């Protein structure tokens, strides 16, 4: 007899393709399809931001509360593009202008309430079930926005096991202890071994303390998080969980149907066996941004424009890259200072620098397809998806050797080129000098088109799907329930 599928409640503040500000959304949206063949069926609980309910079509109410932190709330179930979604409809918390976290450049003033509410509802569903008679075997909480789920379950005496995944430890969900009561958190647990974080409360820390297990999105990032340079103050609690064998580093994959150069409707299609059409995509990208044919590689950057992503390093070293024959197209938004400086760079090199400030998923597809190189000089990178998409599209990743970047790109050293394992360029000194040196190596290798084609072929043949990692999650969930 077929075994019943086990149930995961995945709790997150974003989920592709509905709401996305970064890699978290991709993971939350892609993991369910990879887990299902392994016996785990997922429902995703997320806020019903403005317009979402209209977009998803028919929904069914499966949970309600007259007073969820100051207003009425319902959870509405629906299916959307293969995902089983539970949308938390609480107008007093989510129905307002702005993005998921920010409005007019500032955090929503009550983010701690908005996401504590999400976590509270997740815990209620895990404990009481829904009106369509569903209760999870495991709760998978993502980042600080879902960090309080394990705590709420613990305070309620629930034994439903939880996994908290850290996608980026730099965001910690911090607020003052005067809010504890309002958020149904007990003051008796406000101490350094639990909710307290330097006299404040951190929802991420709460999750790291209370979850049954914790994980991060790459093995290297898991190790890095135990160190002061990367732990953003939480290295102590991560180290404690690691020492008890309760920390896993599980590499992200990408959705290889969404990201498939052989079928992508945005581009001239190609694949590893026959990448010839990549040239047409390259030409199309040059045309789209009115760039001249470069003698060197055409690089792309697709990123949030922040300090983490090393945008300042790019600003320092791109002029040298361009003057040695390279060209670059940048897509991103973020820090106004970086946006301005990139605008200046584009004005200085109109034939070699394309710039689109904003968020544009479709354009990103055309960029990965047209690019020779994708640049990822991050100061830290929990996993990173752009280098994985680069591999998938034969856009050679040039990355800082940190976190998931280190785990997914094999440097084009003479040895790795010779033994056929190289897939990109990495640099360990994460500063302008390190980036400049790696860019120089890429320009040199590009002069040998046969070697470049070989490297691209190895990149195109690198597996970047969820297969292996989904199996690791499934094993972890199975351990948690048994």
Annotated binding-site members: 20
The answer to whether residue 22 forms part of the interface with ligand ADP (CB under 6 A) is yes
Which of 449, 479, 477 shows the shortest CA–CA distance to 141? 477
| Residue with the two structure tokens 């096991």 | 161
- Shortest Cβ contact with ligand ADP: which residue? 23
Q: Which is nearer to ligand ADP, 183 or 371 (by Cβ)?
A: 371
* Residue located via tokens 């992503």: 309
Q: Are 288 and 327 in contact (CB under 8 A)?
A: no
| Cα R_g (the chain), whole angstroms | 23
Question: 109-148: which residues touch ligand ADP (CB under 6 A)?
Answer: none
Identify which of residues 403 and 434 has a Cβ nearer to ligand ADP in the complex: 403
| Dihedral sign computed on CA atoms, order 27, 33, 36, 41 | positive
Instruction: Quickly count: other Cβ atoms within 10 Å of residue 95's Cβ.
Output: 15
CA distance 275 to 352: 24
Three-state secondary structure of 409-474: CCECCHHHHHCCCCCEEEECCCCHHHHHHHHHHHHHHHCCHHHHHHHHHHHHCCCCCCHHHHHHHH
| CB nearer ligand ADP, residue 296 or residue 424 | 424
Minimum distance of ligand ADP from residue 281's CB (angstroms) = 16
Report the residue from 145, 162, 165, 303 that binds ligand ADP according to the rule CB under 6 A.
Answer: 303
Between residue 401 and residue 460, which ones bind ligand ADP under the rule CB under 6 A?
A: none
Tokens representing 398?
């040039």
Q: Which of 304, 307, 416, 441 binds ligand ADP (CB under 6 A)?
A: 304
Q: Which of 302, 342, 398, 455 binds ligand ADP (CB under 6 A)?
A: 302
Q: Is the peptide bond before 17 cis (omega within 30 degrees of 0)?
A: yes
Instruction: Please state the length of the chain.
Output: 482
Name the minimum Å distance from CB 127 to ligand ADP.
31
Give the footprint of ligand ADP on residues 315-374 (CB under 6 A): 331-333, 359-361, 364
Give the number of other Cβ atoms within 10 Å of residue 479's Cβ.
11
Segment interacting with ligand ADP (CB under 6 A) among 16-24, 41-49, 59-67, 81-89: 16-24
Minimum distance of ligand ADP from residue 361's CB (angstroms): 5
- Give the single-character DSSP code of 59: -
Cβ at position 309, least distance to ligand ADP in Å? 7
CA gap 29, 3 in Å, rounded: 25
Choose between 7 and 406: whose C-beta lies nearer to ligand ADP.
Answer: 406
| Residue 54 burial class via C-beta count within 10 angstroms: exposed 0-12, middle 13-18, buried 19 and up | exposed
Burial of 412-426, coded b for 16+ CB within 10 Å and e otherwise, reads: beeebbeeeebbbbb
Handedness of CA 341, 347, 349, 350 (dihedral sign): positive
**What residues pair up with 197 in beta bridges, in sequence order?**
200
Q: Assess 23 for contact with ligand ADP (CB under 6 A).
A: yes
First to last CA, the chain: 20
Judged by CB under 6 A, how many residues of this single chain contact ligand ADP? Answer: 19
We find the least distance from the C-beta atom of residue 185 to ligand ADP, in angstroms, to be: 28
Residue 14 CB, nearest approach to ligand ADP (Å): 10
Residues 378-407 that bind ligand ADP (CB under 6 A): 383-386, 389
CB of 356 to ligand ADP, least distance (A): 8
Q: Closer to ligand ADP by CB, 122 or 305: give it.
A: 305
Give 80 or 221: the residue with its C-beta nearer to ligand ADP. Answer: 221
Question: Smallest distance from the beta carbon of 67 to ligand ADP, in angstroms?
Answer: 34
Let me know: does 398 contact 262? Beta carbons within 8 Å.
no
Nearer to ligand ADP, 212 or 281 (CB): 281
Q: How far is the CB of 302 from ligand ADP (least distance, A)?
A: 5
Annotated binding-site residues for ADP-alpha-D-glucose read 20
235 binds ligand ADP (CB under 6 A): no
Q: Decide whether 142 or 154 has the Cβ nearer to ligand ADP.
A: 142
CB of 426 to ligand ADP, least distance (A): 16
Question: Using an 8 Å Cβ cutoff, are 149 and 212 in contact?
Answer: no
Residue 84's H or E segment, with its range, is strand 83-89
CB closer to ligand ADP, 291 vs 385: 385
d(CA 71, CA 396): 50
| 256 vs 386 by CB, closer to ligand ADP | 386
Residues forming contacts to ligand ADP in the complex (CB under 6 A) are 22-24, 26, 302-304, 331-333, 359-361, 364, 383-386, 389
């Amino acid at each position: 007899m077929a075994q019943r599928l086990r149930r995961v409640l995945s709790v997150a503040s974003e989920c592709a393709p509905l709401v996305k500000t970064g890699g978290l959304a991709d993971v939350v949206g892609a993991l369910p399809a990879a887990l299902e063949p392994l016996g785990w069926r997922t429902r995703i609980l997320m806020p019903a931001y403005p317009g979402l309910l209209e977009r998803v079509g028919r929904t069914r109410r499966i949970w309600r509360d007259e007073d969820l932190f100051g207003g009425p709330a319902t959870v509405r179930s629906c299916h959307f593009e293969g995902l089983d979604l539970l949308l938390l409809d609480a107008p007093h918390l989510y129905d307002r202008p702005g993005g998921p976290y920010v409005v007019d450049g500032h955090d929503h003033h009550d983010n701690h309430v908005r996401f504590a509410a999400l976590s509270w509802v997740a815990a209620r569903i895990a404990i009481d079930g829904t009106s369509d008679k569903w209760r999870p075997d495991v709760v998978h909480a993502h980042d600080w926005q879902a960090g309080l789920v394990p705590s709420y379950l613990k305070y309620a005496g629930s034994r439903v096991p939880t996994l908290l995944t850290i996608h980026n430890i730099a965001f910690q969900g911090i607020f003052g202890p005067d809010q504890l009561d309002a958020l149904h958190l007990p003051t008796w647990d406000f101490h350094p071994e639990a909710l307290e974080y330097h006299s404040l409360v951190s929802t991420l820390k709460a999750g790291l303390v209370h979850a049954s297990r914790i994980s991060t999105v790459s093995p290297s990032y898991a190790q890095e998080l135990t160190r002061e340079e990367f732990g953003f103050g939480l290295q102590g609690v991560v180290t404690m969980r690691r020492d008890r064998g309760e920390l896993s580093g599980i590499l992200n994959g990408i959705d290889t149907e969404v990201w498939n150069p052989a079928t992508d409707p945005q581009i001239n299609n190609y694949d590893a066996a026959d990448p010839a059409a990549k040239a047409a995509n390259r030409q199309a990208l040059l045309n789209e941004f009115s760039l001249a044919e470069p003698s060197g590689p055409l690089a792309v950057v697709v990123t949030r424009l922040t300090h983490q992503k090393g945008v300042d390093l790019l600003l320092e070293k791109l002029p040298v890259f361009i003057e040695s024959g390279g060209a670059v197209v940048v897509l991103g938004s973020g820090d106004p200072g970086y946006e301005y400086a990139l605008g200046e760079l584009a004005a200085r090199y109109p034939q070699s620098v394309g710039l689109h400030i904003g968020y544009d998923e479709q354009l990103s597809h055309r960029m990965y397809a047209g690019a020779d190189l994708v640049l990822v000089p991050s100061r830290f990178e929990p996993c990173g998806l752009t280098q994985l998409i680069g591999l998938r599209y034969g856009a050679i990743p040039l990355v800082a050797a940190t976190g998931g970047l280190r785990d997914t790109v094999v440097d084009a050293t003479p040895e790795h080129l010779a033994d056929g394992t190289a897939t990109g360029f990495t640099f360990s000194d994460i500063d302008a000098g390190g980036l400049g040196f790696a860019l120089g190596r890429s320009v040199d290798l590009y002069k040998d088109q046969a070697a470049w084609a070989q490297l691209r072929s190895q990149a195109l043949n690198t597996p970047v799907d969820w297969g292996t990692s989904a199996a690791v999650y499934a094993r972890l969930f199975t351990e948690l329930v048994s």
